């Protein structure tokens, strides 16, 4: 497995510090492997493996520890057997009810460095976040970027267009790079991930009875990537399919998919007044390969897939991303990280004057000096009026 350098670099400043490291992300995105890589880094620093305690709470051998009191007793016992600082690696901690009580107690009472993972954003919501407020840092893990994908398949980068076409169809789930040449195996694996996310992280967690409705909503969100979404619009779609559901139920189901890191909600914000619109948010899928599993149409909806890939890449690079409303025009992404602010328009091909005017014209009237980009698959530079045109593959592979 390749080294997840981007995440190790984020974690490095907090190693051996009195702060809980919480690694979050969708199932199978590489959180457990990242825990292993952290252990490898610690060994390089001279730490003893005998001081490491690892538990994966999806493993039946830890079923008796899913109560926080039992977990606390076991960890206190094992920490007591360690000479020096203990290093705790607790995988899929959300399976433990009230886990934060144990973690906070251990952090306060013992010399230990704590790393935990979770596949549901409710891990850090409400009372849980309050219990450990100011005592944790969150590292969000995503499936492989295109650069990581190339490294994992040992690409010589001589045919990037071919490799990118494969990436667009399969997505970036790490295990796929071991079987990417077997289309049927890839489809089976992606279907299994989708079933795991929907059934384990959504249906079981929220005791959903209408699984068909949930699947229809996830398919709808996948088909409408990059388009404004409303619960009313989904309700009309369901009625056309002779299904009915309340607006509240639809909103709940959408929220559950985001909690499980299947989708990310993106707010639309007016650039001038900076007001955030309260309706018609956009949603992007964490791994576009899962969209292929649901709809089998990635090659037919390339514009949407490219937009999704760029969005996730911006998140991976640590930007907060919103959709910008510029008068009656829309900027695909406004990306901000501290004082670093950038604008992005994403399209497949600048194949006509109309498309060129639409993509570059979206920036008309924006008077600030922050970088403005138009990303497309075109290979020749079409920059104009201070707006930077960049090939999408070049953007994804830039250092």
| pLDDT tens, residue by residue, 361-379 | 999 999 899 999 999 999 9
Confidence of residue 212 (pLDDT cuts 50, 70, 90): very high
Q: Is the pLDDT of residue 8 over 70?
A: yes
pLDDT at residue 65 in the model: 97
Q: What is the pLDDT of residues 98-135, one digit of tens each?
A: 999 999 999 999 999 999 999 988 787 766 667 788 88
- Across the chain, what does the average pLDDT equal? 94
Q: Is the pLDDT of residue 226 over 90?
A: yes
CB 256 within 8 A of CB 218: no
CATH code reported for the domain at 5-140: 3.40.50.300
Q: What is the pLDDT of residues 46-77, one digit of tens each?
A: 999 999 999 999 999 999 999 999 999 999 99
Q: What is the pLDDT of residues 232-287, one digit of tens each?
A: 999 999 999 888 899 999 999 999 999 999 999 999 998 876 677 667 899 999 99
Q: Is the pLDDT of residue 311 over 80?
A: yes
> Two tokens at 123?
């891990």
pLDDT at residue 82 in the model: 97
Q: How far lies 126's CA from each of 12, 100, 129, in Å? A: 28, 12, 6
Q: How far apart are CA 265 and CA 164, in angstroms?
A: 26
Residue 102 CB neighbours (<10 A): 23
CATH 3.40.50.300 maps onto the chain at 5-140
Q: Is the pLDDT of residue 31 over 80?
A: yes
What percentage of the chain reaches a pLDDT higher than 90? 86
Q: How far apart are CA 393 and CA 100, in angstroms?
A: 42
């Amino acid at each position: 497995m390749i080294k997840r350098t981007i995440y190790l670099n984020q974690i490095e400043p907090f190693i051996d510090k009195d702060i809980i490291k919480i690694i979050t992300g969708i199932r199978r995105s590489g959180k457990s492997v990242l825990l292993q890589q952290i252990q490898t880094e610690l060994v390089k620093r001279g730490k003893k493996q005998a001081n490491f305690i690892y538990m994966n709470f999806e493993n039946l051998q830890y079923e008796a520890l899913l109560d926080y009191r039992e977990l606390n007793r076991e960890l206190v016992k094992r920490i007591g057997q360690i000479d020096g600082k203990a290093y705790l690696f607790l995988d899929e901690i959300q399976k433990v009810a009230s886990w934060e009580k144990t973690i906070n107690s251990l952090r306060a009472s013992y010399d230990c460095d704590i790393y935990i993972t979770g596949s549901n954003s409710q891990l850090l919501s409400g009372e849980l976040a309050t219990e450990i407020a100011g005592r944790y840092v969150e590292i969000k893990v995503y499936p492989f970027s295109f650069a990581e994908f190339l490294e994992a398949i040992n690409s010589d980068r001589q045919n990037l267009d071919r490799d990118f076409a494969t990436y667009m169809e399969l997505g970036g789930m790490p295990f796929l790079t071991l079987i990417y040449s077997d289309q049927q195996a890839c489809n089976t694996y992606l279907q299994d991930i989708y079933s795991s996310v929907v059934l384990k992280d959504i249906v079981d967690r929220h005791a959903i009875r209408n699984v068909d409705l949930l699947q229809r909503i996830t398919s709808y969100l996948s088909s409408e990537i990059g388009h404004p979404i409303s619960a009313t619009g989904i309700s009309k779609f369901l009625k056309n399919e002779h299904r009915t559901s309340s607006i509240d139920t639809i909103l709940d189901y959408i929220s559950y998919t985001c909690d499980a890191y299947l989708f990310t909600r993106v707010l639309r914000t007016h650039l001038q007044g900076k007001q955030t619109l309260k309706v018609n948010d956009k949603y992007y899928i964490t791994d576009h390969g899962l969209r292929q599993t649901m709809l089998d149409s990635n090659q037919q909806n390339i514009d949407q897939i490219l937009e999704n890939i760029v969005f996730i890449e911006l998140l991976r690079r640590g930007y907060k991303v919103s959709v910008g409303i510029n008068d009656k025009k829309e900027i695909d992404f406004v990306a901000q990280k501290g004082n670093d602010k950038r604008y992005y328009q994403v399209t497949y091909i600048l194949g006509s004057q109309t498309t060129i005017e639409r993509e570059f014209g979206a920036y008309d009237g924006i008077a600030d000096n922050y970088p403005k980009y138009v990303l497309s698959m075109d290979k020749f530079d079409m920059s104009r009026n201070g707006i930077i045109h960049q090939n999408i593959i070049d953007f994804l592979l830039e250092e």
